[in-house]
Structure formats: structure tokens, C-alpha cells
């Protein structure tokens, strides 16, 4: 039984080092949720990541991936709260995350 627990622990450590995400990046207050109108189901957030001065377009959903992220972003906007995004691409950090990055580079969204 102890050997199984040890193997699980070692596996968890190995897989945790394979993760490429930088982690959580908090957005400054005052972000906007933007849709692509009647052209597509794409949804973006125009926001500034804390520690940066530049506003950026963050691709939240393409209509298939990220729908729940949009719901949370709208709820945060209505409640006067802000968000934190979890980056999920090798090399992405809060300081270098690019505007207009493809959908899927934001893995998680949480309300702050």
C-alpha cells in the first residue's frame, strides 16, 4: 500500500514539472468583454494585466472552447470584480503574454 502511495506521489511530481504554464495573472479593474458581433462566436476581453501598462485583447472563447470563461467574465464585470487568467502555453508569462494570442492559451479564469 505504501509503495502505491509513493508511486502516485512520484508520478504527480514528474507531471507537475512538465507543466508549461506560467500561472495566474491578475487583470486590472476595468476590463471589457467584447464579442465579434454577427460574424463569429468569438469573445474577447480588452484588459491590462497587473504589472503592465499596455491594454491587450485576450481571446476567451471561439464559441466552442471557453464558453464558461465568458460567463465568468460577464459575471465579474456586472459585479464590479476583476479576473485572473491562468496561462497555458510554453514560455508565456504575465509580462510577455501577447495580445491576440490564439484561443486555448488561457486555461482557467477565476473571479477576484
41-85 pLDDT, tens digit each: 899 999 999 999 999 999 999 888 888 888 999 999 999 999 999
The span from the CA of 104 to the CA of 97, in Å, is 13
Q: What is the pLDDT of residue 41?
A: 85
Distance (Å, whole) CA 80 – CA 98: 25
Q: Given pLDDT bands bounded at 50, 70 and 90, which one contains residue 16?
A: very low
For residue 86, the model assigns a pLDDT of: 94
What is the distance of C-alpha 107 from the center of its chain? Answer: 5
Specify the fold of 21-111.
Answer: OB fold (Dihydrolipoamide Acetyltransferase, E2P) (2.40.50)
CA dist 110 and 45 (Å) reads 14
How is residue 108 written as a grid cell? Answer: 482557467
* Contact in structure between 109 and 72 (CB atoms under 8 Å): yes
Q: What is the mean pLDDT of the chain?
A: 83
Q: Is the pLDDT of residue 38 over 70?
A: yes
pTM value? 0.74
Alpha carbons 71 and 5: distance in angstroms, whole number:
38
Domain ranges of the chain: 21-111
Please report the pLDDT score of residue 10 as a whole number: 53
- How many whole angstroms from its chain centre is CA 7? 31
Amino acid at each position: 500500500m505504501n509503495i502505491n502511495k509513493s508511486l502516485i506521489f512520484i508520478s504527480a511530481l514528474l507531471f507537475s514539472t512538465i507543466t508549461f504554464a506560467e500561472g495566474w495573472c491578475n487583470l486590472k479593474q476595468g476590463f471589457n468583454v467584447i464579442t465579434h458581433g454577427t460574424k463569429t462566436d468569438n469573445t474577447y476581453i480588452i484588459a491590462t494585466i497587473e504589472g503592465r501598462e499596455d491594454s491587450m485583447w485576450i481571446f476567451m472563447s471561439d464559441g466552442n472552447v471557453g464558453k464558461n470563461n465568458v460567463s465568468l467574465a460577464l459575471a465579474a464585470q456586472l459585479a464590479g470584480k476583476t479576473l485572473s487568467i491562468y496561462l497555458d502555453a510554453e514560455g508565456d508569462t504575465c509580462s510577455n503574454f501577447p495580445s491576440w494570442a490564439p484561443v486555448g492559451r488561457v486555461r482557467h479564469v477565476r473571479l477576484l
